[in-house]
Amino acid sequence: MQSALYVALSAQVALERRLNTVANNVANVATAGFRADEVKFATVLSKVGTDAVAYASPGETFISRRAGSINKTDNPLDVAIQGDAWLAMSTPDGNVYTRDGRMQMIETGELRTVDGHPVLDAGGTPILLDPQGPSPTIGRDGSIMQGNNQLGSLGVFRIANDSRLTRYGNSGVISSTQPQLVQDFTSIGVQQGYSEGANVNPVLEMTKMITISRTFESAASTIAETESSLLSAIRALGPSA
């Protein structure tokens, strides 16, 4: 009987964590390049007497890598990454990778993200353009042309599938392994004049939120019923006056 109480409680802990990730995803549905949080759950088996009891683990949060929607902006400094790759930017905490390709050029000609971080080239150095030059043209391979002159190239990197990603800001990630420079642009490319939105499906996330809320209420009812049964058993089996 007590096992049911603990199982329901473990379910509530797991559901609360899932609800927090869904709420964060919904809050960032309009954030460019945002990658949704997901939770991987596991079953924890414990021996209680001769019976095995399955508890719900709190779950492991991970960042989803599925692509977001591509939106046309016609801004020459906006790019969207096609395929499984990332842009690099320099931050006070080191190199950070992002799918948010909205860029801006400051007075010195340096390319920066909308948050003010320098955008890095293939060699990991900031990109400098001619602030007095014509509008840049960015090729599929990330090469940046101003007129007939190539002034730089966006660094496009792949992050191994088994790397652990840690969120940095709204749309940046830090990889647990060293990302590799993309050299083959057959299935990966840079698309100028577009930006990538969040990979969050708001309808699906709201459906998840409703389902989680109802399941949480069901677990709460199970706990209440179990407590009531325990109290009844104590009254029935306790010493009579």
Instruction: Tell whether 76 and 60 lie within a shared domain.
Output: no
Instruction: Tell whether 22 and 118 lie within a shared domain.
Output: no
Predicted local distance difference test score (pLDDT) of residue 227: 64
Instruction: Tell whether 75 and 190 lie within a shared domain.
Output: yes
Instruction: Tell whether 59 and 79 lie within a shared domain.
Output: no
Rounded to an integer, what distance in angstroms lies between the CA atom of residue 193 and that of residue 54?
Answer: 52
The torsion angles phi and psi of 98, rounded to 5 degrees, stand at -150, 155
Instruction: Tell whether 167 and 132 lie within a shared domain.
Output: yes
Percent of the chain with pLDDT over 90: 61
With DSSP H G I counted as helix, E B as strand and the rest as coil, what are the percentages for the chain, rounded to 5? Answer: 25, 35, 40
Q: Is the pLDDT of residue 240 over 60?
A: no
Instruction: Tell whether 84 and 169 lie within a shared domain.
Output: yes
Average pLDDT of the chain is 85
Predicted local distance difference test score (pLDDT) of residue 214: 81
Instruction: Tell whether 58 and 138 lie within a shared domain.
Output: no
Instruction: Tell whether 92 and 33 lie within a shared domain.
Output: no
> How many domains, the chain?
2
Which letter does DSSP use for residue 171 in this model? T
Instruction: Tell whether 213 and 144 lie within a shared domain.
Output: no
pLDDT tens-digit readout, 86-95: 999 999 999 9
Residue 235 token pair: 């009254």
Instruction: Tell whether 57 and 132 lie within a shared domain.
Output: no
Binned at pLDDT 50, 70 and 90, residue 211 comes out as confident
Binned at pLDDT 50, 70 and 90, residue 20 comes out as confident
Instruction: Tell whether 56 and 82 lie within a shared domain.
Output: no
Which letter does DSSP use for residue 33 in this model? T
Which letter does DSSP use for residue 57 in this model? -
First-residue to last-residue Cα distance in the chain: 26
pLDDT tens-digit readout, 155-170: 999 999 999 999 999 8
**C-alpha count within 13 angstroms, C-beta hemisphere, residue 173:** 27
Q: What is the pTM of this model?
A: 0.78
Q: Is the pLDDT of residue 73 over 60?
A: yes
Mean pLDDT is highest, among 2-6, 9-13, 145-149, for 145-149
Region of 74 on the Ramachandran plot (φ > 0 left; ψ -120 to 50 alpha; else beta): left
Predicted local distance difference test score (pLDDT) of residue 47: 47
Domain holding 93, by residue range, is 70-194
Are the beta carbons of 68 and 82 closer than 8 angstroms? no
Q: Identity (one letter) of the amino acid at 151?
A: L
Instruction: Tell whether 205 and 91 lie within a shared domain.
Output: no
